[in-house]
Amino acid sequence: MKGMASNTAFDRGRGISVGSVFGRSFDVIRSNPVATLGTSFLVMALPQLLFGLIGTGTTFANTPRLGLYVTAGLGGLVIGVLWLVASGALVHATIAHDRGRKADLAEVLRVGATRALPLFAVYLLFTIGVSIGTLLLFVPGVMLAVMWSVALPAIVAERTGVYGAFGRSRALTKGARWPVFGIMLLAVVIYTLASATVGVASIAGNGTYAAIASGARVAAPRLPLLAQLLQAAVSTVVLTWFTTVGTSLFVELRHWKDGPDADRLADIFA
């Protein structure tokens, strides 16, 4: 009956909308908060919190420049790898939700870890391609960003391979690129505003760039631990929502193009 209801409700002619994509994203988080919010907190927010605590310690008081560069470099590398793991994990959780089941925390983290390298390759090529297109006349960069907008979910959900992920994204977005552009733009604006709000608190708690760049031998002030935990919680929600929006867009496009077919992905979760 559930499958019949899903097929009846599906309308190939309705296209995709902000409501359907954002609504699906909220449903994923609400139905499985441990695998979604838990992943973002453990893999992204908590490490960032720890690096923030380390970065405002006495190391900067003694060697501000060296401490800043070494900590920032190592921190950026670790955070980048963890972001890939979290992205793959959240994609898997969203796809599992589309199949009507919950993926546990260990499962999504395992998938995220195994798909981190392909995700990196896709992300790198995406960034290079969009950057070159933007440098040319800006518009080509936007067009490529829209056309390749669901390449990252595709390589996790369908194991398409690096180049296949771009082809799959191009095929899914064809005929719906204006709605995709609008959904992406709105999501980026919301994410940027939320991140900026969190960033204001970070700047207030970690001193000014000028003080660090001048080599002043002072330890940067830090926010109270409770405020930093609150900041980490907000970051967790924002990162989770933004990532699941991208995957929800992929799911909506696939339903629009191919129709709902839960059995088609059974081999991925075998």
Residue spans per domain, the chain: 15-259
Q: How many CB atoms lie within 10 A of CB 189?
A: 10
Q: How far is CA 38 from CA 21, 106, 240, in A?
A: 21, 11, 9
Cα separation of 103 and 89, whole Å?
Answer: 10
Mean pLDDT of 18-33: 96
Binning pLDDT at 50, 70 and 90, where does residue 165 land? very high
Please report the pLDDT score of residue 3 as a whole number. Answer: 40
Read off the tokens for 34: 């441990």
> Amino acid identity, residue 3?
G
Please report the pLDDT score of residue 210 as a whole number. Answer: 40
Read off the tokens for 257: 């193009």
| Predicted confidence (pLDDT) per residue in 34-93, tens digit | 999 999 999 988 888 887 676 544 444 444 566 566 666 776 788 889 999 999 999 999
Higher pLDDT, 18 or 64: 18
Q: How many CA atoms lie within 13 A of 16 on its CB side?
A: 30
Q: How far is CA 7 from CA 1, 2, 11, 21, 238, in A?
A: 10, 9, 8, 18, 32
Percent of the chain with pLDDT over 70: 73
Query: Nearest Cα to 166, choosing from 266, 182, 174?
Result: 174
Please report the pLDDT score of residue 76 as a whole number. Answer: 76
Read off the tokens for 167: 């082809």
Please report the pLDDT score of residue 49 as a whole number. Answer: 80
Cα separation of 35 and 31, whole Å?
Answer: 10
Identify whether the C-beta of residue 86 lies closer than 8 Å to the C-beta of residue 119.
Answer: no
Mean pLDDT of the chain: 81
Give me Rg for the CA atoms of the chain: 20
Mean pLDDT of 19-38: 96
Please report the pLDDT score of residue 71 as a whole number. Answer: 64
Binning pLDDT at 50, 70 and 90, where does residue 199 land? low
Q: How many CA atoms lie within 13 A of 252 on its CB side?
A: 26
Most confidently modeled range among 87-91, 229-233, 259-263: 87-91
Residue 97 has pLDDT above 50, yes or no: yes
Most confidently modeled range among 126-135, 187-196, 227-236: 126-135
Identify whether the C-beta of residue 270 lies closer than 8 Å to the C-beta of residue 25.
Answer: no
Q: How many residues appear in the chain?
A: 270
Q: Residue 84: CB partners within 8 Å, gap ≥ 6?
A: 112, 115, 116, 119, 120, 123
Residue 169 has pLDDT above 80, yes or no: yes
Cα separation of 91 and 111, whole Å?
Answer: 9
Cα separation of 212 and 218, whole Å?
Answer: 9
Please report the pLDDT score of residue 221 as a whole number. Answer: 47
Mean pLDDT of 11-16: 62
Binning pLDDT at 50, 70 and 90, where does residue 197 land? confident
Binning pLDDT at 50, 70 and 90, where does residue 16 land? confident
Binning pLDDT at 50, 70 and 90, where does residue 202 land? low
Cα separation of 259 and 11, whole Å?
Answer: 9
For the chain, the first-to-last Cα distance in angstroms comes to 24
SS3 175: coil
Residue 160 has pLDDT above 80, yes or no: yes
Please report the pLDDT score of residue 188 as a whole number. Answer: 93
